């Protein structure tokens, strides 16, 4: 009887040594920490998610320091093989400490976890509160988080509304573009139909003229055939007379037998000039269509236009809008500054365009880098990434950091801009007189765009069309 008691006590003591202090079960794949305490691999991973401290002695450890405790693992396997399996012990209640199995009655403010009274020694340098005092602290922090998230929800709702407006605006843009495309194709189609009618009329006219001339030849030839037939009959009749009458009338008959009319034949240029009508037909039609087409070296990008600017449907003129237009607040749009960019940016090569200013009393024209700020006011200068000239209060200015006044002999109604990316030059000219005004230099290291600031005035600024030249070889 005493032997059984001793054996049971020994088994209980051994089982205690082989029990994980976290899950209170026999070790499963035990891992050994540098402080010499072991835990099931799964339990240690659970501890490491919240704190890199030993659950028994609170000694700190780092990832990768735990090693497999092979000896302990072998002992656990042997124990389970030699003893009758025990019913699986239930894990401690969520309201009790996993380590000491005592109620969680305190809150560690530093580690932000509830602890039991036996855990106090492991948190002796931390501030411990009752659950009643600790809960409000956590609630205040969570309420602060809730307020942040509620503000985010409101912000997200506003953005969702903006996104919906952007969808409607895209549909509006698509509708406008569709109208423009259809109208332009209709106009060009009508021009083609007119050109087709003119060419068919020219063909029909030449056909009628050439046929009329040949039919006239046919009528003339028919008359000659009749005349020749009558002459032949006369000659045959005289040949049938007696010798003496024939000889008496021979000279007279010989005179009548003279035929001085030219031999009928087709004249040169009697047939249709096919080369004129169908030679290089497509190319010739295309050349003729140039009269119906305008080329613009630069067109405007409406997605960059300030809401206070109104652009023409073909994106070649701009002026102040009497009221703020409804447009998405997309990143590339200027607001509040009143600017608009060209639709195409340049990274190399030579480029040239003209702007018709008219009597606009205030404007800015030039080029800018792609990264130019869009969503706040800024001073236009080369330091900001804008190379431009301006007119304001009757004074022409080169918009460098020092603000150089530009002397002009007469008010230019058109400004020509020449951009040479490779040489790092942007030059300004009076477009009417071709007089050079100023050249600014810079090593352009990003994409450059034409920039236009028409000012708050009803007079539009207009992009001038370029010349179209056809080169053949």
Q: Which two tokens stand for residue 382?
A: 């080369």
Indicate whether 409 and 327 sit together in one domain.
yes
Cα 106 from chain centre: 59
- Beta strands 425-430 and 363-369 are unpaired
Q: Which two tokens stand for residue 326?
A: 């409804």
Q: pLDDT tens per residue, the chain (473 residues)?
A: 445 555 666 666 777 788 888 877 888 899 998 988 898 988 888 778 777 888 888 888 888 888 988 888 888 888 888 775 544 445 556 788 887 888 988 999 988 899 888 888 888 788 899 899 999 999 999 999 999 999 999 999 999 999 999 999 999 999 999 999 999 999 999 999 999 999 999 999 999 999 999 999 999 999 989 988 888 888 888 788 787 877 888 888 888 778 888 888 888 889 999 999 999 999 899 888 888 889 999 999 999 999 999 999 999 999 988 899 999 999 999 999 999 999 999 999 999 999 999 888 899 999 999 999 999 999 999 999 999 999 999 899 999 988 899 988 888 999 999 999 999 999 999 998 999 999 999 999 999 999 999 877 778 999 999 988 877 87
Indicate whether 309 and 448 sit together in one domain.
yes
Indicate whether 381 and 276 sit together in one domain.
no
Angle between helices 243-256 and 131-239 (to 10 degrees): 150
Q: Where are the alpha helices (DSSP H) in 240-280?
A: 243-256, 274-278
Indicate whether 316 and 427 sit together in one domain.
yes
Choose the final residue of a domain: 90, 116, 134.
Answer: 90
Closest CA to 367 of 260, 303, 449: 449
Indicate whether 316 and 271 sit together in one domain.
no
Q: Which two tokens stand for residue 82?
A: 């030699």
Q: Which two tokens stand for residue 91?
A: 């894990």
> What is the rounded CA–CA span in Å between residue 38 and residue 19?
9
Q: Determine, yes or no, domain membership for 168.
A: no
Q: Determine, yes or no, domain membership for 112.
A: no
pLDDT, residue 88, reads: 47
Q: Determine, yes or no, domain membership for 259.
A: yes
Indicate whether 288 and 323 sit together in one domain.
no
Q: Determine, yes or no, domain membership for 283.
A: yes
- Using a 10 angstrom Cβ sphere, with 0-12 exposed, 13-18 middle and 19 or more buried, the burial of residue 96 is middle
Q: Determine, yes or no, domain membership for 254.
A: yes
HSE-up of 450 (CA within 13 Å, CB side)?
A: 26
Count of domains in the chain?
3
Indicate whether 224 and 313 sit together in one domain.
no
Indicate whether 326 and 265 sit together in one domain.
no
pLDDT, residue 23, reads: 76
Closest CA to 66 of 43, 98, 91: 43
Q: Determine, yes or no, domain membership for 239.
A: yes
Indicate whether 445 and 309 sit together in one domain.
yes
> What is the rounded CA–CA span in Å between residue 25 and residue 33?
18
Q: Which two tokens stand for residue 422?
A: 């490779």
CATH number of the domain residue 350 falls in = 2.60.120.920
Indicate whether 439 and 383 sit together in one domain.
yes
Indicate whether 266 and 341 sit together in one domain.
no
DSSP 266: P
pTM, two decimal places: 0.67
> What is the rounded CA–CA span in Å between residue 247 and residue 255?
14
Q: Determine, yes or no, domain membership for 25.
A: yes
Choose the final residue of a domain: 240, 272, 292.
Answer: 292
Contact between 355 and 432 (Cβ < 8 Å): no
Residue located via tokens 């063909």:
203
Question: Which residues span the domain enclosing 354?
Answer: 302-463
> What is the rounded CA–CA span in Å between residue 464 and residue 416?
10
CATH number of the domain residue 36 falls in = 3.30.40.10
Choose the final residue of a domain: 90, 116, 133.
Answer: 90
Contact between 88 and 80 (Cβ < 8 Å): no
Indicate whether 282 and 383 sit together in one domain.
no
400 Cβ neighbours under 8 A, 6+ residues apart: 381, 382, 440
Closest CA to 60 of 30, 36, 32, 34: 34
Q: Determine, yes or no, domain membership for 18.
A: yes
Q: How far is CA 407 from CA 363, 417, 430, in A?
A: 16, 17, 12
């Amino acid at each position: 009887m005493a032997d059984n008691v001793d054996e049971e006590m020994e088994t209980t003591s051994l089982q205690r040594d082989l029990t994980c202090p976290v899950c209170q079960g026999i070790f499963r794949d035990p891992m050994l920490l540098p402080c010499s305490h072991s835990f099931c691999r799964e339990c240690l991973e659970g501890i490491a998610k919240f704190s890199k401290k030993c659950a028994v002695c609170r000694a700190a450890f780092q990832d990768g320091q735990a090693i497999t405790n092979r000896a302990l693992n072998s002992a656990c396997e042997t124990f389970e093989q030699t003893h009758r399996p025990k019913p699986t012990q239930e894990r401690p209640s969520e309201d009790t400490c996993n380590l000491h199995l005592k109620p969680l009655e305190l809150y560690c403010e530093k580690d932000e976890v509830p602890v039991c009274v036996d855990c106090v020694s492991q948190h002796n340098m931390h501030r411990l509160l009752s659950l009643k005092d600790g809960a409000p602290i956590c609630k205040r922090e969570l309420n602060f988080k809730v307020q942040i998230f509620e503000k985010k929800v409101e912000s997200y709702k506003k953005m969702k509304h903006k996104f919906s407006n952007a969808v409607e605006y895209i549909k509006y843009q698509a509708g406008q573009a569709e109208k423009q495309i259809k109208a332009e194709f209709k106009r060009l189609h009508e021009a083609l139909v007119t050109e087709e009618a003119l060419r068919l009329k020219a063909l029909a006219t030449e056909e009628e003229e050439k046929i009329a001339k040949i039919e006239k030849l046919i009528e003339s030839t028919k008359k000659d055939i009749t005349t020749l037939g009558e002459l032949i009959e006369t000659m045959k009749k005289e040949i049938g007379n007696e010798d003496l009458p024939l000889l008496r009338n021979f000279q007279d008959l010989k005179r009548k037998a003279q035929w001085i009319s030219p031999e009928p034949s087709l004249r040169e240029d009697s047939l249709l000039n096919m080369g004129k009508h169908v030679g290089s037909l497509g190319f010739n039609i295309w050349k003729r269509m140039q009269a119906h087409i305008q080329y613009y070296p630069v067109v405007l990008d409406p997605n960059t236009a300030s809401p206070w600017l109104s652009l023409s449907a073909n994106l070649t003129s701009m002026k102040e809008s009497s009221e703020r237009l409804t447009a998405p607040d997309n990143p590339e749009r200027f607001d509040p500054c009143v600017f608009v960019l060209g639709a195409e940016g340049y990274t190399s090569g030579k480029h040239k365009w003209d702007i018709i200013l008219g009597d606009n009393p205030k404007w800015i024209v030039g080029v800018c880098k792609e990264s130019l700020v869009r969503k706040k006011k800024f001073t236009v200068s080369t330091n900001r990434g804008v190379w431009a000239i301006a007119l304001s209060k009757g004074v022409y200015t080169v918009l460098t950091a020092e603000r150089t006044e530009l002397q002009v002999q007469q008010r230019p109604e058109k400004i020509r801009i020449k951009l040479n990316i490779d040489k790092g030059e942007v030059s300004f000219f009076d477009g009417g007189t071709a007089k050079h005004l100023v050249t600014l230099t810079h090593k352009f290291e990003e994409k450059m765009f034409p920039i236009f600031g028409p000012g708050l005035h009803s007079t539009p600024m207009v992009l001038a069309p370029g010349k179209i030249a056809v080169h053949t070889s």
